[in-house]
Structure 1
Amino acid sequence: MFKLTPKLDKLLSQIQYTISLILKNTFFIKKIYKIIKCIFLLVLYIFLISSFAYAQQRLSGVISDENGAPIPYAKIYVKNSTELRTVADVDGYYEMRLFQGEYFLVIKSMGYKDREAYVTIKENTENKDYKLFPNNIQEIEDVNVSTKKSNPGREIMLKVIKKRDSINLWNYPHTVQGYIKASEKIIRKEKEKKRKKNKKENTENNISNVSLKKRKKDEAIKNNMNLIEVDLTKHYGGKNKVKEIRNAYKERGSSENNLYYTTTVKSNFNFFQNLLRLDDLHQTPISSPISSPGILSYKYRLVEQYEENGRNISKIKIIPRNIATTTLKGYIYVIDTLWLVQKLEFTLEKGNLLIYDYFSIEQEYNHPGDSLCVLSKQKMTYGVKYKNETSICSTESEFSEYNFEPIFPKKYFNNELSVIREEAFEKDSTFWRNKRKSKLTSEEIEYITINDSIEDYQNRKEYLDSIDANFNKVTALKVLWWGVDHRNRNKKTQWTINSLAAFIRPIYIAGPRLAPGFSFFKKWKDERFIDSYSEFSIGFLNKDPKGFTNWSFQYDPFHFGILRVNFSHSFEAIRAYDALSQIYRRDNFIETTDLTLGNNFELINGLYLDANISINERRSIDGYRFSNTDDVIENNDPTKFDTYQAFIFNAEVNYTPQQKYIKEPNRKVLLGSNWPKFYLYYEKGIEKIFGSDVNHDYLLGGIMQTFKIGLLGTSSYNIKSGLFLNTKSLKDADQKFHRRSDPIWFSNPLHSFQALDSTLPSEKIYLEAHFIHHDNGAIINKIPFMKKTRIGLVLGTGALYVPEFNWEHYEVFAGLERNFKFSRRRLRIGIYGVLSDGNQIKPQTDWKISFAILDNRDLKWNF
């Protein structure tokens, strides 16, 4: 029989004792409940979620439509007892608590028939799922319609919506062949100074060098356009069962482009569903005008009727009823008597677009057997304007060879939504001539000819050598400001020496320093790479040498396998994530000599392990000379302690269920998940090994998620708890702290508080929770003219309970945010008001500001 080691057995006993202590401690349970209640007060206010009582039994389930699709925010209440009510979440899930007995439930949602259901609540938890069915056409006609005149546009759309489920392509398993062509034209605004310089050069050359002129013109054409072509096969097996095979892929131009929809799995423009979730394009889901709920969100106006190919076509204008939550407008073309959609032309309002200034889409449909709307062509037109350049983009897609009787192998559909293999990048021009569905424009033909010609020239060794020679040239500006770079293309390496400006560190613990640095990078074709940065520094006041070197080797790009080796002899902050007013205090720094080995790896899809071991010696900085400028932050004396050694192991496991991804030849592109991320962190100070003087165990666990709540905006939360299981020899450098808040600055509200006036260490268990909601204009746009300002409302709350100090802290905040263009990025500026309370402070208010940059890779903000 397997036997535990004494130390592990003792550790498990400590964990068991701690859990039993928590369960028996009624006072602690009450504190947890109080914190959770604080978090949900704001949620209750926004989403009308009913509170629950522990003495009641739980009734839960999912509200869905006739096709099994969840209905967000359906209302459920007890008939004749409307105080017993709840609202389903974004996934249609509801939960309510009722005493034992018999009840008649009423389930309601806009655009659907009300339903009454009988339920008996017994001792055990009940699970009841309910389906709602769309209103009859006549019932929909009766909603919000009191006009005396008939509305033929609306009547036509009601007939289309009545057939929606039968004509919707995405209600049937199928395979389809697809071709995508995405092109970007860049118009650059030449600065006056540069324009005059070019004009002068042309005059001096007397415009006689024809070949030079042509080469400059060709390079301008190449640099001012980007083009991507994709040939693909898409497999659809039913709800949430999608797999795309990209058979060929050709990218011409810069990889840093503004092109959209180069894969079909990130966004699905299916206007036959209730809501379109276009997370990589639009901040909020979009209500479709070809749906039962859409009837209540749009006005329909017949503007033209004409005959085409022997069929009568009705052109219907789509007008939003409420511009606060509906951002779609345009036209739908309907075939009379068949009530099939022939084509549609829609435009998205600017307000909630993530990147672009405008976006429009056109779709054309075929109608096999006059019974189905099959997407055949799709064109998107979009663009964005920056200070010195304007990007004009279009993406054309064609779909053909539909097969509605596909046979898919078992387990064919999984979290791998798209696959592109190495051979897809190797297709020649003959392949593309045969596969290309959309006709190239004259500009695109000229661009492809010039681009391929220039690429052939630029791939020659003599040209590459000349580029490298120019890149490696040492100039005064590089030495003084940018840094000196050197590239070796054959070895695929690059190194950089810091500039003189980067050498100087005027503000540092123990006075100014000189710190020359050196970086090295090497990358292989299979996406493996080595990345390093090393630095040596010397202090002005203490003449003390310091330095560090950090090396990373990505050995398995597909599983994010990275090996790290770090060595340092330097100053180290005990509380690195603290208020700015606290970080540079002298008692926050120690001197360390440290060697750390680490490894990160994805064990299975969505499950990551990051493990590290470190060996270090820690010394007090008492005895160092300090700069007089340190006193501006009300500084103090360094902490005195005897030098000691520490051998520490830590590991973090985080898991995101059902993580979707795209598989490329040598890497994995993550697409996210509808599930939250669960994380667990463990740290062990190991005694005696390498003379280690530390002995502690720390455990932290939490859950965090960002999700969209229908048309109401985006919410995020982070709930975590941690404690030391063992503190036999716990040093200050290993202590865990709750960050003190900054004055004025609004720090990340998912990881910190805005009105916590103390830095709190905690050895025993604590509970911390954060919640924030961005309305993305859903609430504030209801105020007249506010949508034009593109200002969004943000609401949030946070709570902390540290029992060893009997410390309770609660806060709520509200603010206004707006996005601005910043160079080629998106900058978000916010101003917030904060209200805080707790058992150690009096209620108080404050205001904060924040700045955030949109991550161009995953199109997400930091909060």
Structure 2
Amino acid sequence: MKNVITLFALIFVAVTAPAQDRWLRGTVTDSLGNPLPFGSIYINNTSRGTSANEKGFYQLKLNTSANQVVFKFIGYNPVLVTIPPGKADTSVHVQLSQTVYQLDHVTVTGKKSNTANRIMRMVIDNRIRHLEEIRNYVADVYIKGMQKLTRAPKRFLGQDVTHVLQLDSNGHGIIYLSESESKLHFQAPNNYREVMLASRVSGKNSSFSFHKAEDLMVNFYQNLIQFDSLAIRGFISPLADYAFAYYRYKLLGQITENGETISKIAVIPRRAHDPVFRGEIYIAEHDWRLYAVNLYLTKKNNINLADTIRFSQQYLPASDNIWMPSSLQLSFKGKVLGFSYEGYFVGIFNNYKINEPQPGTKFSGEILKISKNAIKKSESYWEDKRPIPLTKEEIRDYRQKDSIEHIRTLPRYRDSIMDVENRLTLAKAALFGYTWKNTLTGRSLRFAPVLPSLFYNTVEGFGFQYDVRFKKEYNLKNSIEVTPQLRYGFSNKHLNPLVEGRYYYDPVNKGFLSLRAGSEVLDLTNLRSSTSVTNSLNTLIYETNWRKFYEQSLLSFSASYETNPGLFLMGGLEYSRRRWLNNTSNFRLIDHPGKSFTSNNPFYPDDNTIPLFANHTAFIFSAELDYAPAARYITRPEGRFYEPFKYPRFLVNYKKGINDLFNSDVGFDFASLEVYQNDLKLGLLGRASYTFKTGKFFNAASIYYPDYYHYRGNNSLIFESSLRNFHYLDIYRFSTRGQFFEAHYEQNFGGFITNKLPLIRRLKLEEIVGGAYLDQSSQKNYAEVFFGLQRLIFRVDYAVAFSYGVKVYHGFKLSYRLK
């Protein structure tokens, strides 16, 4: 084996090990003694191995017989160490020399790119074979994740950052440290099932790790690689069928290992700002497969959440010419709002069983299940099972935070700790809300922020709507919430108290019961918040009171349950007495000549004496079925959490107004069907969301305006954006008691165009294109098209509206999205 050194190690007795296994420990460094972080260490001719930590320390459990152990690091010569038989722990420190990749048989002038292209064409030609040769596999997986701040401001939003995040005086410190142990099952083409058997989070004895093995399995044999949180668009693999349109390749050199030629190839983007990777890949030419990967993304690739993300992969022969990743590392660093951070996730995949029967394994939508006993593993368990040694910093973090967590449970410290954590600040009270918690009893009180609770409209004048939520947690499966709310209008002097109680009896299956009683003020469409900041500003500054309101006293009951994964059922009964309201306030900050407020009846804007509807009583039954086919989800002890849905969802809604029962004045039957999908992945073209909805009142014998079907219209320049919003459709005029069809489509191109423009790309703008359509008795063939630019939660659109093919409105609209 060329460039492989065989060593007979010096053996040091450390601790007598059990009869059937022992530890091999040591360091992996370069020829100058510098640590090689996350190097691979594995037993020769097996898929059992480990990785060094970020300081180069490693540990690997061996049996008592003789073992041959290989030490590897990308770009360095591997070393083979023979460990004699024995029962004692062994210490081996290995130095790796940097690989000298030869170009002896390649003409230096003008030929290296040609050779690299030839190699990459062969790899791309064999891409599908390597992608499809794995029908299924099972593996043991260990994952460690660490995130730390390398710089932080002293205070942020009024909070002492050093104290809250437990940092040192320089603003350094680990903010997340976790490790887990899982069994991972895979079935082609893309079915995963992982069972997390053990989990540990520093300073959080009752918390579970949030990572999963599937996230680390970045498969560069796929044409396009998508990351849900990193970018709207996908990233093109250097092995993609069309890779030559996006990459140039350069041969950096070749070595021979086990009689096989390994080529080191530089991956160079043709255009710096395309959704592409940079770095090096290592190709084994025997069967044109990946040998190792060292690629990265930068801010030039329009990624979110980080400045640089690096992917390192080491492959090992796992079964009959099938090579699998044994060590996967994802590392990152970035800066945001004065914070500098870095971190990594490293996964060790052991004991592969490939293309073998998996009896008892059922691949369903459950991609990860976390055992409720996963967090109950002792420190000795982790010391025995952990394949990657902790660094001194990580050991210190575990000890300090776990000690603090233990102290928090001691009665003599609990009160003082809660006093500190429950400290009220002006920023919390005014802007963000304040939460008081008693960790001993499981009780908490959530006080709404004061400023967002204030509002102004022409019906109530200045007012406030304030709520406090009380919550009692009994265990992971049961909790109760009681939320009293008080609303008062200073102009009409109406006081509206409301209370809601909600009992969660089965969080895994979204099971809860809810009871509401009291009175409230609602928008006429029942679709929008009646304390909208946008409406208050429009009314006070622009003398435009678009929003209209009514008041109701009510008693309602509702229930929800998920009968099967992806099948959600809801039902409810509501008894209410509804009252029409008139304008009572004419105040505005700016008086615009020629403008005046309109009445609270959108159909008679100049007459404040004509009510839109008579006061009436309503008794209404409602039911809803929401079905998400092939839903993928994670099951944790505290609930079921869904991944983005891959297929369209179906929503069926039914409402019945029951006439004469409890003196109810309403009598109608309404049903609707909606097909919708959010964030459909379109590869390089970003993501799209759409909805198609149709509905009909089969009986409208006695129906009042609040029970009409309402659309999300808009009359203002600034509004809260939503997929189901129209840009120009009047809010109230086209609500219907008949039949309707509406459709909405929106596509986010994620910088497909703007990232190609030299100055604009720095703004990280995302292009939004979409449209909407409505057909009903009073507004047939109404359509909108729009183009917009979005940054974070803010967006500017240019929209055009058509009715019967004739342009009726056009102009710019400003919007924001809070969820």
What's 1:839 paired with? Answer: 804
Q: 1:341 to 1:496 in 2, by over 3 A?
A: closer
Root mean square deviation of aligned Cα:
3.7
In the TM superposition, what whole-angstrom CA distance separates every residue of 1:13-41 from its partner, at most 9, and x where no partner exists? Answer: xxxxxxxxxxxxxxxxxxxxxxxxxxxxx
In the TM superposition, what whole-angstrom CA distance separates every residue of 1:404-447 from its partner, at most 9, and x where no partner exists? Answer: 25322367111111111111111111111222222322211222
What's 2:554 paired with? Answer: 594
Pairing partner for 1:352 from 281, 302, 309:
302
The answer on 1:399 being equivalent to 2:373 is no
The answer on 1:692 being equivalent to 2:664 is yes
Q: How does 1:497-516 map to 2 (within 5 A)?
A: 509-513=459-463
What's 1:174 paired with? Answer: 137
What's 2:212 paired with? Answer: 263
In the TM superposition, what whole-angstrom CA distance separates every residue of 1:116-144 from its partner, at most 9, and x where no partner exists? Answer: xxxxxxxxxxxxxxxxxxxxxxxxxxxxx
The answer on 1:335 being equivalent to 2:284 is yes
The structural deviation recorded for 1:226 is 1.4
The structural deviation recorded for 1:691 is 0.9
Pairing partner for 1:800 from 774, 792, 797:
774
For structure 1, the residue ranges without an aligned partner over 5 or more in a row are 1-146, 200-212, 819-826, 854-861
Q: Secondary structure at the match of 1:750?
A: coil
In the TM superposition, what whole-angstrom CA distance separates every residue of 1:712-748 from its partner, at most 9, and x where no partner exists? Answer: 2111111111221111111122122334323322553
- The answer (yes or no) to whether the contact 1:260–1:395 under 8 Å persists in 2 is no
Q: Under a length normalisation based on structure 1, what TM-score does the superposition of the two structures give?
A: 0.72
- The answer (yes or no) to whether the contact 2:647–2:677 under 8 Å persists in 1 is yes
Q: 1:448 to 1:221 in 2, by over 3 A?
A: farther
What's 2:88 paired with? Answer: none
348-357 or 535-544, which moves further after superposition?
535-544
What's 1:829 paired with? Answer: 794
- The answer (yes or no) to whether the contact 1:797–1:813 under 8 Å persists in 2 is yes
The structural deviation recorded for 1:527 is 4.3
The structural deviation recorded for 1:376 is 0.7
The structural deviation recorded for 1:501 is 6.3
The structural deviation recorded for 1:233 is 1.1
Q: Secondary structure at the match of 1:668?
A: strand
Structure 2: how far apart are the matches of 1:260 and 1:779?
A: 38
The answer on 1:366 being equivalent to 2:316 is yes
Structure 2: how far apart are the matches of 1:715 and 1:240?
A: 22
- The answer (yes or no) to whether the contact 1:528–1:557 under 8 Å persists in 2 is yes
- The answer (yes or no) to whether the contact 2:182–2:197 under 8 Å persists in 1 is yes
- The answer (yes or no) to whether the contact 1:741–1:756 under 8 Å persists in 2 is yes
Pairing partner for 1:634 from 586, 594, 598:
598
The structural deviation recorded for 1:312 is 4.7
The answer on 1:301 being equivalent to 2:250 is yes
The answer on 1:852 being equivalent to 2:817 is yes
783-792 or 172-181, which moves further after superposition?
783-792
Structure 1: how far apart are the matches of 2:451 and 2:760?
A: 45
Pairing partner for 2:728 from 755, 763, 780:
755
The answer on 1:430 being equivalent to 2:380 is yes
- The answer (yes or no) to whether the contact 2:180–2:199 under 8 Å persists in 1 is yes
The answer on 1:290 being equivalent to 2:239 is yes
The structural deviation recorded for 1:473 is 6.4
Q: Secondary structure at the match of 1:663?
A: strand
The structural deviation recorded for 1:629 is 4.3
Q: How does 1:209-228 map to 2 (within 5 A)?
A: 224-228=174-178
Q: 1:219 to 1:252 in 2, by over 3 A?
A: farther
- The answer (yes or no) to whether the contact 1:167–1:340 under 8 Å persists in 2 is yes
Pairing partner for 1:151 from 102, 107, 114:
114
Aligned residue type for 2:472: K
Q: 1:171 to 1:452 in 2, by over 3 A?
A: same
The structural deviation recorded for 1:849 is 1.9
The structural deviation recorded for 1:684 is 0.7
Q: 1:497 to 1:393 in 2, by over 3 A?
A: closer
Q: 1:551 to 1:352 in 2, by over 3 A?
A: farther
The answer on 1:720 being equivalent to 2:693 is yes
The answer on 1:313 being equivalent to 2:262 is yes
Structure 2: how far apart are the matches of 1:418 and 1:231?
A: 12
In the TM superposition, what whole-angstrom CA distance separates every residue of 1:193-212 from its partner, at most 9, and x where no partner exists? Answer: 999x999xxxxxxxxxxxxx
Q: 1:613 to 1:438 in 2, by over 3 A?
A: same
In the TM superposition, what whole-angstrom CA distance separates every residue of 1:73-129 from its partner, at most 9, and x where no partner exists? Answer: xxxxxxxxxxxxxxxxxxxxxxxxxxxxxxxxxxxxxxxxxxxxxxxxxxxxxxxxx
Q: 1:370 to 1:321 in 2, by over 3 A?
A: farther
The structural deviation recorded for 1:558 is 0.6
The structural deviation recorded for 1:606 is 0.9
What's 2:579 paired with? Answer: 619
The structural deviation recorded for 1:175 is 0.8
Pairing partner for 1:459 from 400, 409, 420:
409
Structure 1: how far apart are the matches of 2:148 and 2:340?
A: 8
The structural deviation recorded for 1:319 is 1.6
Aligned residue type for 1:833: Y
Structure 2: how far apart are the matches of 1:480 and 1:710?
A: 42
- The answer (yes or no) to whether the contact 2:334–2:340 under 8 Å persists in 1 is yes
Q: Secondary structure at the match of 1:382?
A: strand
What's 2:504 paired with? Answer: 554
What's 1:44 paired with? Answer: none
- The answer (yes or no) to whether the contact 1:265–1:418 under 8 Å persists in 2 is no
Select the structure that is richer in helix. Answer: 1
- The answer (yes or no) to whether the contact 1:769–1:799 under 8 Å persists in 2 is yes
Q: Secondary structure at the match of 1:361?
A: strand
Aligned residue type for 2:550: I
In the TM superposition, what whole-angstrom CA distance separates every residue of 1:816-835 from its partner, at most 9, and x where no partner exists? Answer: 223xxxxxxxx333222112
Q: How does 1:41-80 map to 2 (within 5 A)?
A: none
Percent identity for Structure 1 against Structure 2? 26
Q: How does 1:407-422 map to 2 (within 5 A)?
A: 407-409=357-359, 412-422=362-372
Q: 1:435 to 1:148 in 2, by over 3 A?
A: closer
Pairing partner for 1:653 from 598, 602, 625:
625
Q: 1:249 to 1:709 in 2, by over 3 A?
A: same
In the TM superposition, what whole-angstrom CA distance separates every residue of 1:747-788 from its partner, at most 9, and x where no partner exists? Answer: 535212112246312122111111111111224434456544
What's 1:7 paired with? Answer: none
Structure 2: how far apart are the matches of 1:158 and 1:586?
A: 62
Q: 1:832 to 1:598 in 2, by over 3 A?
A: same
Q: 1:337 to 1:677 in 2, by over 3 A?
A: closer
Q: How does 1:52-201 map to 2 (within 5 A)?
A: 151-168=114-131, 171-191=134-154
What's 1:449 paired with? Answer: 399
In the TM superposition, what whole-angstrom CA distance separates every residue of 1:214-241 from its partner, at most 9, and x where no partner exists? Answer: x988799996431010111111222233
- The answer (yes or no) to whether the contact 2:431–2:451 under 8 Å persists in 1 is yes
What's 1:704 paired with? Answer: 676
The structural deviation recorded for 1:680 is 1.3
Q: 1:789 to 1:151 in 2, by over 3 A?
A: farther
446-455 or 673-682, which moves further after superposition?
446-455
Structure 2: how far apart are the matches of 1:187 and 1:368?
A: 38
Structure 1: how far apart are the matches of 2:209 and 2:752?
A: 25
- The answer (yes or no) to whether the contact 2:686–2:750 under 8 Å persists in 1 is yes
What's 2:468 paired with? Answer: 518
Aligned residue type for 1:648: I
The structural deviation recorded for 1:503 is 7.7
Structure 2: how far apart are the matches of 1:182 and 1:571?
A: 48
For structure 2, the residue ranges without an aligned partner over 5 or more in a row are 1-109, 529-533, 590-594, 601-607
461-470 or 484-493, which moves further after superposition?
484-493
Pairing partner for 2:653 from 675, 681, 689:
681
- The answer (yes or no) to whether the contact 2:147–2:342 under 8 Å persists in 1 is yes
How many residue pairs match? The answer is 682
In the TM superposition, what whole-angstrom CA distance separates every residue of 1:566-596 from its partner, at most 9, and x where no partner exists? Answer: 1122333222437946999599333311011
Structure 2: how far apart are the matches of 1:834 and 1:483?
A: 36
The structural deviation recorded for 1:696 is 1.0
